[in-house]
A = this chain, B = another copy of it.
Amino acid sequence: MLNATVPRLLRWFETLEDQPSHATECPPEHLAAFREPLPESGRPLEGLLDRLIDDVVPWSFNTAGPGYLAYVPGGGLPSTAVAELFAAITNRYAGVCAAAPVAVEIETQVLRWLCELMGMPKGALGVMTTGGSLSNFIGAVAARHDRLGEDLTGACAYVSSEIHHCMTKALRLAGIPSAGIRTVPVDDQFRLDPSALRALILEDRAAGKRPFLVCASAGTVNTGAIDPLTDIADLCADEDLWFHVDGAYGALFRLVPELEAPLRGVERADSLVLDPHKGLFLPYGTGVLLVKDLRALRAAHDADAAYLPPLNEGEEQVDFCNLSPELSRDWRGIRLWLPFMLHGIQAFRDALREKHELAIHAAEAIAQEPGVVLAHAPRLSLFAFRQTFEGLSLEQENRRNEDLLERINHHRRAMLTSTEIDGTFWLRVCVLHLRTHRERVDEALRIVREELRNPGG
């Protein structure tokens, strides 16, 4: 099977540059063809591969290609694909240390490396997940258990109005009622306002509520804002609150020495979320939660049963099933261990620096166009912009910008997305794909410039 699949995949891979950046207007009858009865007996592999390559993969956002400047791009590092193949064929179970001590050790080592790269204190560790949403959830549960125990009465968690929605969802899933999810306003740079946060905490305490958690962003998805992390860390220390940082998009930029300063404070998090399928260019499906105090994570998640192998209590050998909601899971560590060993960390630093510089380059070029405003210059690798028109209402301007986005994307060489902040429509550019280099960014800029200058369409 592998011998038939690999060449077919490699042929597809060679055409990546020429593939459209997206194609989702799939005809309904094309979808309907997949609503077929479950076959009793099998079909030949070749036909199935053709169907996947020809009929499934092309109808999509091309999340593997260099033109994917949309959302926060996920990568598709081939060495992780090799690692996944390896993990699936050998089928090792790494949820419990006893079942595969060396596989668990390399997963633990990956987590130790990530803690080190994030500047977290010795003894910090964590768990690998499928993505930022689950990591945020696990952090929320650890905070809840550590600070509130089982009684959720009056629980208050604090998020900024710009935080990723999966954080508030994580709190809901953890049983925090919506009244306990308190929204803190942001400043003119879209950063959580620490004095407003402090005022809200004091107000809640005065009303007999139980503040327990502050969630900050190290890179929001709307504008790339980084919350004032050290101020919030100080406040959390003063007020004895759990300090959670959602760094799914941005925290991994700390690998680049010159970006350590803007991200200062991530190392003080009680829990920190990273998305290696974003910042380390892996294929979709790898998130990380790092925690300062492993015991808090274990206390919230441990469970034992007579039919399980003996579990570990130490800091050196861990059972991931006791640090997360998952018991069954794939052998996840190899996804990151193999790329780290194969490419070395310098390759990741270089790639992140490249994306940062490309974003600055793109933002500067776009900002020079007549009438264009940026929400903010890129701090990491994303920025939002819009075109303004004299004499038009906000609503009319929004329509023009929606139309602009549509015309840019219509070229199918670069896919941008949008967001809306306080009723204002913004186009977004996020440079984080491993295959996006200067050439494609310049091509995208030519298209953006052309469409900015043709406001009529």
Interface size counted on chain A using CB atoms at 8 A: 133
B307–A340 touching, CB < 8 Å: no
Known: A84-B84, A88-B80, A344-B42. A325 touches B170 (CB 8 A): yes
User: Which residue of the partner chain, among B81, B91, B102, B345, contacts A56 with CB atoms under 8 Å?
Assistant: B102
B344–A99 touching, CB < 8 Å: no
B59–A134 touching, CB < 8 Å: no
Known: A88-B84, A419-B307. A109 touches B48 (CB 8 A): no
Question: Would you call A256 an interface residue if the criterion is a C-beta within 8 Å of the partner chain's C-beta atoms?
Answer: no
* Interface segment out of the listed A31-39, A203-211, A360-368, A440-448: A31-39
Residue of B nearest to A22 (CB): B99
Known: A82-B5, A89-B81, A326-B133. A341 touches B306 (CB 8 A): no
A170 CB to closest chain B CB (Å) equals: 7
**A335-364 CB contact bits vs B (8 Å, 1 = yes)?**
000101111111100000000000000000
| Alpha-carbon gap, A179 to B99, bound state (A) | 33
Question: Would you call A105 an interface residue if the criterion is a C-beta within 8 Å of the partner chain's C-beta atoms?
Answer: yes
| Alpha-carbon gap, A13 to B2, bound state (A) | 12
A184 CB to closest chain B CB (Å) equals: 17
Which residues A1-57 have CB closer than 8 A to chain B?
1-3, 5-6, 9-10, 12-13, 24, 26, 30-31, 34-36, 38-43, 45, 48-49, 52, 55-57
Known: A133-B328, A137-B325. A91 touches B105 (CB 8 A): no
A150 CB to closest chain B CB (Å) equals: 4
| Alpha-carbon gap, A90 to B174, bound state (A) | 33
The residues of B that contact A36 with a CB separation of less than 8 Å are: 109
A432 CB to closest chain B CB (Å) equals: 13
Which residues A66-82 have CB closer than 8 A to chain B?
71, 74-76, 78-82
A38–B222 touching, CB < 8 Å: no
Question: Would you call A414 an interface residue if the criterion is a C-beta within 8 Å of the partner chain's C-beta atoms?
Answer: no
5 A-B pairs (CB sep. < 8 Å):
A9-B86, A42-B342, A43-B341, A168-B303, A173-B301
